[in-house]
Amino acid sequence: MEQTDVLIIGSGIAGLTLAIKLAEQRSDLNITILTKTEKGETNTRYAQGGVAAVWDLESDSYKKHIEDTLDAGDGICEKNIVEIVVKEGPARVREVIDWGARFDKVKNDIEYDLGMEGGHSENRILHYKDLTGWELQRTLMEQIAKAPNVKLLEHHFAIDLLTQHHLGHNITRVTPNIECYGAYALDKKTGDIITILSRLTVIASGGTGQIYRNTTNPVIATGDGIAMLYRAKGRIESMEFVQFHPTALFNPAGENPVFLVSEAVRGFGGILKDKKGNEFMDKYDPRKSLAPRDIVARAIDNEMKLSGAECMYLDCTHLDKEAFCDHFPTIYDKCMSLGIDPMKDMIPVVPACHYMCGGIKTDEDGQTSIQRLYACGECTFTGLHGANRLASNSLLEAMVFAERIHKNILNRIDEFEINTELPEWDAQGTSTPKEMVLITQSVKELKEIMSSYVGIVRSNTRLKRAMDRLFILYNETEQLYRTSAISHQLCELRNLITIGYLVTRSASMRRESRGLHFTTDYPDKLDFVDRTIL
C-alpha cells in the first residue's frame, strides 16, 4: 500500500500542468503521477497544429473565438465554459511560455506567428513548427523534474478507482455521495498490484482513439480513465461525438497510429482535391478546405464512397518550398520517407479517429460526479467542445482546467484524510492466461466493429449490429478477467470494449444528426437539444 496526498493518473499536458502548479504552491504535499508507459508517450506529445488563443486584441477578440467555438460545437457547448476557456486561455499560454515553451515568431522575432485552422475566423494558433505538442511535453517534463514533492511512476497502469464499493457497499449509478479513495495500479515491470491511497485523485488519462482501426492517437489512448469512472458509477456524457480528423496520411502499408497531416497545412494554403486534381469542398461548405472538421471529414468520406477511391488528396504543390519546410518539417520528412514529395505530388489523405469530445462530466472546477475525484484534459466532457471540437482548443482546455482544478484542490485538500480501510488487491482464483491471442484478436475485432458500424456515418442497423457484437466481446472478456491474472493488455481490452459500448450506446440514443454524429436514419437536427448522459 502507498499513500499520497494527490494521485494524478496521466503525464500529458493535463496531468503535468496540474502537478507543477500544486507542487509549486504547496511543497508540503506529496503528489504521485502514474503513467502507463514512458512519461513522454502521450497524445500531447503528438499535437501538431498548436494552441488556439486570442493573442492580438487588435485583429482578434474573445467574442470571435467564443463564436467560432460555439459554431463548431453545433448547439451543445456550455456557453459559460466556452467563455471561461477563451478568456482565461491566453494567461495560461503565457505561463507555459514563462516555463520555457517556445512558439514560432514572425521575422521581427517579437510577434508570434499566429496560424489559421478550420473553423477559426482569425489567425490565432500559437505553434512551434509542426511539433507544438512535443515542445509542450518537453517543457512540462523539464518543469516537473524540478519538483521534489512529485513522484512520477512510469510503467504504472491504473486499473480501477477505489470507492465505497471496495469497502463492501453496494454502489449503483444513483447512489449519492460516492467517494474516491485512490486507485489500484499495476507495476508493469514487477507485475505487482499496488493500492495507492490518496486524499484527492485526478484522472488525466487522455483519449480513446484506439477503439478504431485508423487513429492518429498513440497506442496509450485506450480510454482507461473514462472506463474506470464508468465502472465506479460516475457520470459520462456525449460519447457519440467522436472527432475524425479529415487529413491523416494515407499509407497503404498500414500504421498504428496513422500519421497526421495537420489542419495547419490547409490553413497555410493546402487545398483538398480528388485524384484528378479537382477541388470538391465547394459542394459542401462555402469555407471549402477550411470548413470545421466534421464537415470536411464527412465530405472526404462521401467523395471516397462516391468514387470508390482509397483516399483524397491535399495539394500543396503551389506553396513555397522553403516556407513549407520551415513550418512543417516533420510532415515534409514523413511524406518524403514514403516517396511523396509534397512540392511535386499531392499528399494522399484519409479521415482517421482523432479526438473524443465526450467523456467524464466535470463542473467548472473540474470536479466529477464522484466526490474527491477530479478529471482534466481529453478524458473529460467540460462542455467546451459540444458536438464538435474546434481545432487547437484541446491543449487550451487542459491548461485552463489544470489551473482551476489546482485552485480547487488547494482550497479543499485539508478537509480530507486518507482512508486506510481499503483492502489490498485480491488475486485469488486467477492464473496467467495461456493464450495471448485471446486478447489481441478481441482488440482487432473491437476495432473492426467500431470502424465498420460506428464510424463517420451511422445508422440504426449498423449501431444495432455493433451493440450485438460488442455484447459477445464483453461477456467473453469479463469471463477472462475474472479468471486471469491481471495484465495491462487485458485491462486495456476491457476498457476499449467499455468505450466502444459507451460510444455506440450514446450514438443510439441520439435520434438526430448533429456535429460529429451523423446517422442516415435521422439526417436532420432536432430543435430540442439534449445531452446523452450515461
Q: Could you give phi then psi for residue 153, rounded to 5 degrees?
A: -100, 105
Contacted entry of ligand FAD, ligand SIN, none for residue 460, CB cut-off 5 to 8 Å set by kind:
none
Contacts (CB under 6 A) with ligand SIN, residues 21-60: 48-49
Minimum separation from the CB atom of position 289 to ligand FAD (A): 17
From 11, 195, 201, 392, residue interacting with ligand SIN (rule: CB under 6 A): 392
How many Cα atoms sit within 13 Å of 375 on the Cβ side?
Answer: 31
Position 386 contacts ligand SIN (CB under 6 A): no
Binding-site partner at residue 224 among ligand SIN, ligand FAD, none, CB < 5 to 8 Å by type? ligand FAD
Is residue 391 at the binding interface for ligand SIN, with CB under 6 A as the rule?
yes
The distance of closest approach from Cβ of residue 278 to ligand FAD in the complex, given in angstroms and rounded to an integer, is 28
Closer Cβ to ligand SIN, 264 or 376, answer by number? 264
Q: Could you tell me where the beta strands, DSSP code E, fall in 230-338?
A: 236-237, 242-249, 271-273, 312-315
- Which residues, numbered 342-381, are part of the site for ligand SIN (CB under 6 A)? 355
**With binding defined as CB under 6 A, does residue 242 bind ligand SIN?**
no
Segment contacting ligand SIN (CB under 6 A): 10-18, 229-237, 335-343, 388-396?
388-396
Choice between 5 and 74, CB closer to ligand SIN: 74
Q: How far is CA 281 from CA 119, 246, 298, 315, 514, in A?
A: 14, 12, 10, 13, 19
Single-letter amino acid code for the residue at 94: R
- Residue 58: how many CB atoms within 10 A of its CB? 5
Decide whether 463 or 516 has the Cβ nearer to ligand SIN.
Answer: 516
CB of 261 to ligand SIN, least distance (A): 8
CB-nearer residue toward ligand SIN: 214 or 392: 392
**Dist. CA 192–CA 488, nearest whole Å:** 12
Q: Closest CB to ligand FAD among 32 and 513?
A: 32
Q: Which does 347 bind (CB under 5 to 8 A by kind): ligand FAD, ligand SIN, none?
A: none
Interior CA angle at 386 toward 382 and 389, to 5°? Answer: 95
Are the C-beta atoms of residues 499 and 446 closer than 8 Å to each other? no
Q: Which stretch binds ligand SIN (CB under 6 A): 342-350, 386-394, 461-469, 507-515?
A: 386-394
We find the least distance from the C-beta atom of residue 47 to ligand FAD, in angstroms, to be 3
**CA 34 – CA 494 distance, rounded (Å):** 19
CA 417/CA 350 separation, integer angstroms: 51
Coil, helix or strand at residue 248: strand
Q: How far is the CB of 28 from ligand FAD (least distance, A)?
A: 25
Alpha helices in 436-514 (DSSP H): 437-453, 460-483, 488-509
CB atoms within 10 A of CB 113: 16
Helix (H) or strand (E) holding 355: strand 347-356
Task: Answer whether 205's CB lies under 8 Å from 175's CB.
Answer: no
> Residue 385: helix, strand or coil by DSSP?
coil
Q: How far is the CB of 308 from ligand FAD (least distance, A)?
A: 28
Closest contact distance (angstroms) between CB of 246 and ligand SIN is: 9
Which stretches of the chain bind ligand FAD, using CB under 6 A? 9-15, 34-37, 42-44, 46-51, 132-133, 157-158, 204-207, 216-217, 220, 224-225, 260, 355, 377-378, 392-395, 398
Q: Per CB under 6 A, which region of 59-67, 159-167, 250-258, 390-398 contacts ligand SIN? A: 390-398
Of 78 and 263, the one with the shorter C-beta distance to ligand SIN is 263
Q: How far is CA 461 from the centre of its chain?
A: 28
Q: Please say which residue, 198 or 394, places its beta carbon nearer to ligand SIN.
A: 394
Which position among 394, 484, 508, 513 is part of the footprint of ligand SIN (CB under 6 A)?
A: 394
Shortest CB 195 distance to ligand FAD, Å:
15
Identity of the residue, 400 or 470, whose beta carbon is nearer to ligand FAD in the bound complex: 400
Strand partners, 196: 2, 183
Closest CB to ligand SIN among residues 182, 223 = 223
Instruction: Retrieve residue 294's grid coordinates.
Output: 466534421
Q: Is the peptide bond before 433 cis (omega within 30 degrees of 0)?
A: no
Q: Is 287 helix (H, G, I), strand (E, B) or coil?
A: coil
Contacts 24+ apart (CB under 8 A), 510-515: 510/240, 514/74, 514/75, 514/76, 514/387, 515/72, 515/73, 515/74, 515/75, 515/76, 515/241, 515/294, 515/357, 515/386, 515/387, 515/388
Active site residue ranges = 293
186 has which bridge partners? Answer: 157, 193
Closest approach of ligand SIN to the CB of residue 388, in Å: 11
| Residues 251-310 close enough to bind ligand SIN by CB under 6 A | 262-264
In the complex, the residues that contact ligand SIN under the rule CB under 6 A are 48-49, 262-264, 355, 391-392, 394
